Amino acid sequence: MVSSEAAASRKSKLRFLNELAGGTLAIDGFNVLITLEEILRGSPLVLADDGVVRDISGLSSAYRPDPEGRTGEAFDLIFSALDEAGPQKVFFGFEKNMSGSGILTTHVRERLNASAIRGDASTLQSVIKTLPFFGDVIVSGNSALLDRADHVFDLAGFLARRKGVLPQPF
């Protein structure tokens, strides 16, 4: 549980999709991908006191791409939302010590090269320590990143609401 002060601080940093145009986004690759795959599975979600949607799967270092195609579907949703948002640039960071980070980084670079979205992807020693240096807006549900960020976009929450899994925020 988070203090009401921390929740209010994180909530004040939240941005809407229409506020991302022209900005630079730093995306916590595994965090967003895992949460979206859980949404696509129909798994339970938590709408936390800080206004951010999180999955309860407990996956992290145990993550593996979904054999039923949800990984590709999650990336389709991510890129569709990014295309709609119109950021100037995006950066995907994948935690280096997690299995598959290099493969996912290569996949995202290929998707970026095939799209109109400018950006890059990389494996990082520590997403929490370094991701905030890559963008004006952090895209993650990770509490430590939310605390370090100036601005946050809850992409998984946005897409969960769009799919009708969660009610609209206001």
Per residue of the chain (170 residues), give pLDDT as tens. 688 999 999 999 999 999 999 999 999 999 999 899 988 888 888 888 998 988 877 666 666 666 677 889 999 999 999 999 999 999 999 999 888 899 999 999 999 999 999 999 999 999 999 999 999 999 999 999 999 999 999 999 999 888 876 655 54
- Helix boundaries (H) for 14-168: 29-41, 70-85, 101-113, 127-130, 143-148, 155-162
- pLDDT of 170 reads 45
pLDDT score recorded for residue 58: 65
- Alpha-carbon distance of 153 to 131, in angstroms, equals 14
Beta strands 53-55; 45-47: pairing state: antiparallel
CA atoms within 13 A on the CB side of 133: 6
- Token pair of 103 as six digits: 């493969």
Token pair for 156: 């998984």
Q: What is the pLDDT of residue 47?
A: 87
pLDDT value at residue 44:
83
